[in-house]
């Protein structure tokens, strides 16, 4: 079978739209495989992969689902089946990309498959939900969400334009593939950054690049940390400069930028070199001031702008964060070091700044040292955004990766 774009839709309700998109892709010279994820009524257009085949991949049948009458069960089964179909096609080298159409059910089904596929493979979801909170659908993958504007229910002057754009965008992605890494290219390092640690990461990035290292910087906003952990898990990363571990604070306290409980575990499991610091663990993130829980309104808050409010972590929270960070790095099976900035962990945590709190820093760093096991922990008399700290972090990682310093470098 020739490589093709997988079009995913419930063809009992989105048949006309799926056929329209398929026609547009064909006009661009892109082959397609149409998969039917519907379970209710007969399809309105003929699929290449039938609903019966989809559900067989999920270990069930159309008769069983229709007998149960449970829509949620049918959606889960369809999502599982489409995911299996997509992975099977990808494993055979027959998948160019995935394009989904739908409302809540269709988006759930198609993005389940998209999240299972590697970064770089084109993924586009035309959805009625694309203008809202999409993290649950996108996860840590490069999924393009396109707002359908009108419901995906028939063709009209709006839907034709949106669906045409979707088809042409997918055609552009699959026909203009960019060459990515190959054997022998520069080692890849993942680094974490927040606005309040930007000077540190920018300077460290330049130092790493001066040594022939390619650096991917992830914004530590929850999704960023998840994406980095996924890339490490997939074996694409040679080293980690985890300067900004702030997502641990959101997970512990209940902020909006948590990367989940597995943050700071992939590098340890993979055994790749890592340098870890305590960047931005002085803060928990919320949206506007009104999003801060009422019980915390009396805590130390910093209104960054109308959409971002930061809450200072307490001494006790820092003690718990330090224990978690130290324990997770201690579990590594590879080379690692922890570097701690005595004079502050973010732009807001320095002498005279809004979140300056020496007692909290001491609790944080003491707990890290106490739980780091055999991992070297160095506390430097520097602020995290000092150039000297950034250079020490970068050069430590280069040493752990076995990359020799440039001649004449001190």
* Confidence at residue 9, expressed as pLDDT on a 0 to 100 scale: 96
Q: Give the model's confidence band at 153: pLDDT under 50 very low, under 70 low, under 90 confident, else very high.
A: confident
Measured in degrees and rounded to the nearest 5, phi and psi for residue 238 equal -100, -20
Cβ(204)–Cβ(277) below 8 Å: no
pLDDT in tens, 71-118: 889 999 999 999 999 999 999 999 999 999 999 999 999 999 999 998
Q: pTM (2 decimals)?
A: 0.73
Cβ(23)–Cβ(32) below 8 Å: no
- Give kind and range of the element (H or E) at residue 244: strand 239-244
- 271's tokens: 């055994």
SS3 of the chain: helix, strand, coil, percent, to 5:
40, 20, 40
Q: Give the model's confidence band at 154: pLDDT under 50 very low, under 70 low, under 90 confident, else very high.
A: confident
pLDDT in tens, 337-365: 999 999 999 999 999 999 999 999 999 99
Burial class (CB in 10 A: 0-12, 13-18, 19+), 406: exposed
Which domains, from first to last, does the chain contain?
Answer: 4-175 (3.40.50.12020), 188-400 (3.40.50.12030)
Residues 6+ apart with CB under 8 A from 111: 100, 125, 137, 138, 139, 143
- Give kind and range of the element (H or E) at residue 218: strand 214-219
- Of 127, 118, 156, nearest in space to 16 by CA: 156
* Confidence at residue 218, expressed as pLDDT on a 0 to 100 scale: 96
Residue 74 to residue 62: CA distance in whole angstroms? 9
Q: Give the model's confidence band at 406: pLDDT under 50 very low, under 70 low, under 90 confident, else very high.
A: low
Report whether pLDDT(220) > 60.
yes
In whole numbers, what is the pLDDT of the chain averaged over residues? 93
* Confidence at residue 234, expressed as pLDDT on a 0 to 100 scale: 85
Residue 204 to residue 91: CA distance in whole angstroms? 38
Q: Give the model's confidence band at 70: pLDDT under 50 very low, under 70 low, under 90 confident, else very high.
A: confident
Residue 21 to residue 44: CA distance in whole angstroms? 14
Cα end-to-end distance, the chain, whole Å: 57
């Amino acid at each position: 079978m020739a490589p093709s774009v997988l079009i995913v839709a419930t063809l009992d309700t989105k048949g006309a739209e799926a056929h329209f998109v398929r026609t547009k892709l064909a006009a661009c010279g892109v082959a397609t495989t149409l998969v039917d994820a519907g379970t209710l009524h007969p399809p309105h257009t003929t699929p290449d992969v039938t609903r019966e085949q989809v559900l067989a991949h999920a270990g069930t049948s159309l008769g069983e689902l229709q007998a149960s009458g449970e829509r949620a069960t049918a959606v889960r089964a369809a999502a599982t089946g489409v995911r299996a179909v997509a992975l099977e096609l990808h494993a055979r080298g027959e998948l160019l990309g995935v394009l989904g159409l739908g409302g809540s059910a269709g988006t759930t089904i198609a993005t389940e498959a998209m999240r299972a596929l590697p970064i770089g493979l084109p993924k586009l979801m035309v959805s009625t939900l694309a203008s809202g909170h999409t993290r649950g659908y996108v996860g840590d993958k490069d999924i393009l969400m396109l707002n359908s504007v009108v419901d995906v229910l028939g063709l009209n002057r709006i839907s034709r334009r949106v669906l045409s754009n979707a088809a042409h965008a997918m055609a552009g992605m699959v026909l203009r593939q960019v060459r990515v890494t190959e054997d022998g290219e520069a080692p890849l390092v993942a680094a974490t950054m927040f606005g309040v640690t930007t000077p540190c990461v920018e300077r460290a990035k330049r130092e790493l690049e001066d040594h022939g290292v390619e650096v991917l910087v992830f914004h530590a906003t929850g999704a960023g940390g998840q994406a980095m952990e996924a890339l490490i898990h997939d074996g694409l990363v040679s080293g980690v400069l985890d300067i900004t571990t702030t997502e641990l604070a959101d997970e512990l306290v209940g902020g909006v930028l948590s990367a989940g409980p597995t943050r700071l575990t992939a590098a340890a499991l993979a055994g790749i070199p890592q340098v870890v610091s305590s960047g931005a663990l002085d803060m928990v993130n919320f949206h506007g001031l009104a999003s801060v829980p009422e019980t915390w309104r009396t805590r130390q808050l910093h209104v960054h702008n109308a959409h971002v409010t930061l809450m200072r972590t307490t001494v006790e929270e820092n003690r718990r964060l330090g224990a978690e960070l130290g324990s997770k790095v201690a579990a590594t099976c590879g080379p690692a070091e922890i570097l701690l900035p005595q004079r502050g962990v973010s732009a807001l945590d320095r002498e005279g700044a809004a979140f300056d709190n020496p007692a909290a820093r001491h609790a944080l760093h003491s707990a890290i040292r106490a739980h780091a096991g055999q991992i070297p922990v160095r506390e430097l008399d520097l602020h995290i955004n000092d150039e000297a700290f950034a250079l020490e972090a970068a050069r430590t990682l280069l040493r752990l990766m076995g990359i020799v310093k440039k001649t004449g470098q001190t």
